Amino acid sequence: MPREIPKTSLPSAGKILELLAKLKEEGFMDIISIHISSGLSGTYSMVKNLEENARKIGLNLHVIDSKSLSIGLGFLVMKAAQLIENNTPLPEILSSLNRLKEEIKVFFVLKSLEYLRKGGRIGLVE
């Protein structure tokens, strides 16, 4: 049996729009959508392009490029939740998250680059 290399792909615009419509039905008006670094995935750009579609259905979609991944991204999400729980005004939440994302640094030590290359995350390296 050949070894399968895990790969990732973007969610479809249709799926994102379905989710936004559902959130609208549930009564949400403002959505903070925090994504993995745009340097690692096209998800941020794809969702950013849906902001106008969201406005058409009455949603304010605030798309944030975390410029991070893993625990760095999780930290931003946790900070957003904390600010929301504290009833922080939306403009202040967005400002805090955009400031904080510039301060977060995530480091990884990899045993091998083999699977990053095979999964298409990096090109050939010398």
Strands, E assignment, the chain? 30-35, 60-65
> What average pLDDT score do residues 83-91 get?
98
Higher-confidence residue of 27 and 5: namely: 27
pLDDT of the residue at 89: 99
Domain edges within the chain: 13-118
Higher-confidence residue of 117 and 63: namely: 63
**Residue 44: Cβ-neighbour burial (10 angstroms; 0-12, 13-18, 19+):** buried
pLDDT-derived band of residue 1, with 50, 70 and 90 as boundaries? very low
State how far the Cα of 64 lies from the Cα of 86, in Å rounded to an integer: 20
Residue 31, helix vs strand vs coil: strand
Higher-confidence residue of 41 and 118: namely: 41
pTM for this one?
0.85
Number of CB atoms found within 10 A of residue 115's CB: 13
8, 51, 16, 104: CA torsion to nearest 10: 40
DSSP β-bridge partners for residue 64: 34
Compute φ and ψ for 83, nearest 5 degrees.
Answer: -65, -40
Give yes or no for residue 120 having a pLDDT over 80.
no
pLDDT tens track for 6-62: 777 889 999 999 999 999 999 999 999 999 999 888 999 999 999 999 999 999 999
**CATH 3.40.920.10 for domain 13-118:** no
Nearest to 65 by CA among 93, 98, 88, 92: 98
pLDDT tens track for 91-105: 999 999 999 999 999
